Amino acid sequence: MNNKKRWWVPILNRTLNFVFTSFCPICEGKVFKDGYSYVCQECLDTLAWVRGTSCKLCGIPMSGMDFSGLSCASCREENLLFDRGKCLFVMEDQAKSLIHDIKYHGARMILRDMTSWLDRSPGFREYLEGTVLIPVPLHRRRLGKRGFNQSEWIAHSFRKAVGPSVEVMDILKRKKNTPTQTELDRSERKVNVKNAFALKRRNRLRKEDRIMLIDDVFTTGATLNACAQVLRDHGFKRINIATLGHG
């Protein structure tokens, strides 16, 4: 059922905001302005949503004919071990504020709008259907310090928005407490995450499953590629990626 048909949703949302005072991560105005969307619809309109032709591996928008074989110059230079990739939006200033609130302020409420987000990027919902969503893991020390894994939150928000054809499996572990990738260049990022991940011994993943690695942002693809490497080494063949942003 569409949230707009539920008369009690605006009341609940505004009550939650009264108890846990929050602000739109883009304009810093009131959240749930329309009663339903955490982030202002006008603010969401300013994001660079990915529509039409995009790189088949990282999802960045590209000019040219819309077909599945197009890849950007950056991806052509890399030995990427996943088959396809998509992102919802490009990381311009507004999107950076959005991701920052989720990742560093723990604003999980933002992800409640995922259903409408998927509507803004045609084909993204269908891309996720029938897959096993595997979030990129945090090291236990960073997880203990932060208290949450934003990639896991994103995976569950995708599952809720898409429906029962997808499931989330937390089957990767980060065995090295690597420094943040934020200040590293492309080559340093690769070295930083090399052999940083492993497959958990107990998992329900099947070799025939369509795997979808989930992260918040695609920058160079080094982290996602390191995760894909682990899965390839264990014989998994069908590996794609999905992120919120690209930048």
| Residue spans per domain, the chain | 28-246
What are the pLDDT digits (tens) for 150-178? 999 999 999 999 999 999 999 999 999 98
The Cα–Cα gap between 242 and 98 comes to 17
Query: Residue 69 has what pLDDT?
Result: 75
| pLDDT mean over 87-98 | 96
52: left (phi over 0), alpha (psi -120 to 50) or beta: left
Tell me the average pLDDT across 185-199: 93
pLDDT at position 5: 59
> 22 burial class (0-12, 13-18, 19+ CB within 10 angstroms)?
middle
Residues 6+ apart with CB under 8 A from 115: 3, 160, 161
CA nearest neighbour of 88 among 109, 59, 108, 115: 59
Could you give phi then psi for residue 244, rounded to 5 degrees? -70, -55
Residue 76 CB contacts under 8 Å (≥ 6 apart), including other chains: none
Q: What is the pLDDT of residues 31-71, one digit of tens each?
A: 888 778 899 999 999 999 999 899 999 999 998 766 667 89
Token pair in block for residue 188: 């340093």
Shortest CA distance to 162 belongs to which of 115, 111, 116? 115
pTM of the model: 0.89
Q: Please tell me which residue, 186 or 140, carries the higher pLDDT value.
A: 140
Portion of the chain with pLDDT greater than 70, in percent: 89
CATH architecture of 28-246: 3-Layer(aba) Sandwich (3.40)
Separation between Cα atoms, residue 140 and residue 174, nearest integer Å: 8
Do 101 and 110 contact (CB within 8 A), yes or no?
yes
**pLDDT tens digits, residue range 96-142?**
999 999 999 999 999 999 999 999 999 999 999 999 999 999 999 99
Mean pLDDT of the chain: 90
